[in-house]
Chain A
């Protein structure tokens, strides 16, 4: 547990000291979302209808943007070798790193979502449910992405390959995330089931992705 907290604290501190990664992710999120009205035209009804989908897609692209550095810095400076053979299982350490990454990029991105919702004429009633589905669903994005990041850690400019590996796996999370918001627009309680499925994705990925990521990291060190 000491090792878990040590890595969690260090990664949060590093993200705060560096700053660049988070600013970039939020800036990217903002620009992608604000491009949409220019592309589809000022049809407010149309924008309101596609808003949840666009916000989710922009969010998962922003998360992906910062994911390729998740293990890369540790790999390059030699820290990873020591994390791999530490007393705590590597799988735990990976959970700590993913959690730190979610806290430092996922949560701020989610907090920015309601503001961007205004750009897209999203109904104010839907803001709460949108933020809630994102809080439930985005950890799955980080966990699945971590497995991809571990696979591509040894490759220079592995970001593109990471997208090819990870984006198809994001499809179910995207489908249920968006449909939870849309069904809440139709009436109360409409989104409960989809939220549960989203939570199941997050829990399953939190259980399975660290095992895959640990195996990939070990193989990359050989």
Chain B
């Protein structure tokens, strides 16, 4: 697997944010995306995930260029956790398993959610909600992970779990792009630093 961008330009709501980015990641590569607030990290991740706006340049995953197929190969975890407060933790994960496929038991085990699986999601703390959101990483096997500030509101133990999950994913040959201000226990082998104008530094 190889994910490559060639002079990629992205816009947010019609306003150009990211300009002329080029990178190339193959199986087992992890890329840390950093840069000041507003430098276009989220915009870039959303564009790769398939619901952003690509205004120029090219994005390839192997021979896949068509946005629909490319976006189905990606798993995007954004700022929101996609959790329904009226449903329990288990029901939430059940829905995503029936929608995208995957193993509910593995997802529950990944961030030790079993003790709270029957709790309505509206009763969860911010960190617990984040863990439910991140448990989707263990649910469906996708070749590319796009993580936008994945460690927000996680405690130390859960951040460690996340790091381990990322490490084993890379060992299995996954491609990972993470935008984060938190230091993980693992180091990603590539770095992309965005400047104020959304260009690579």
Contact = CB atoms under 8 A, between A and B. Distances in A.
A9 B83 CA distance: 16
B50 A17 contact: no
A87 B49 CA distance: 13
Given A6-B98, A7-B99, A222 B87 contact: no
Contacts of A5: 98
Nearest to B43: A222
A97 B91 CA distance: 18
Contacts of A76: 80
A81 interface: yes
Interface residues of B, number: 30
A79 interface: yes
A6 B68 CA distance: 20
Interface string A70-97: 0001001111011111110000000000
Interface in B60-109: 68, 71-72, 74, 76, 78-84, 86-87, 91, 95-96, 98-100
A3 B72 CA distance: 14
B52 interface: yes
Nearest to B47: A222
B184 interface: no
Q: How large is the interface on A (under 10, 10 to 19, 20 to 34, 35 or more residues)?
A: 20 to 34
B12 interface: yes
A77 B81 contact: yes
Nearest to B95: A10
Nearest to A17: B86
B58 interface: no
B29 interface: no
A2 B101 CA distance: 9
Contacts of B14: 222
Interface string A1-29: 01101110110011001100000000000
A84 B81 contact: no
A85 B53 contact: no
B99 A6 contact: yes
Contacts of B72: 85-87
A81 B146 CA distance: 13
A221 interface: yes
Contacts of A7: 99
A25 to B, nearest CB: 17
A166 to B, nearest CB: 24
A14 B83 contact: no
B78 A222 contact: no
A86 B99 contact: yes
A5 B95 CA distance: 10
A83 B98 CA distance: 12
Contacts of A82: 76, 82, 96, 99-100
A218 interface: yes
22 contacts: A3-B98, A3-B100, A5-B98, A6-B99, A9-B98, A10-B95, A13-B87, A14-B84, A14-B87, A78-B79, A78-B81, A82-B96, A82-B99, A82-B100, A83-B99, A84-B50, A85-B49, A85-B68, A86-B72, A218-B51, A222-B12, A222-B14
Q: Top 3 closest A-B pairs, CB basis?
A: A78-B80, A6-B98, A17-B86
Interface of B: 11-14, 46, 49-53, 68, 71-72, 74, 76, 78-84, 86-87, 91, 95-96, 98-100
Given A77-B81, A221-B52, 10 more contacts: A3-B100, A14-B86, A81-B49, A82-B100, A83-B99, A85-B50, A85-B72, A85-B74, A222-B13, A222-B52
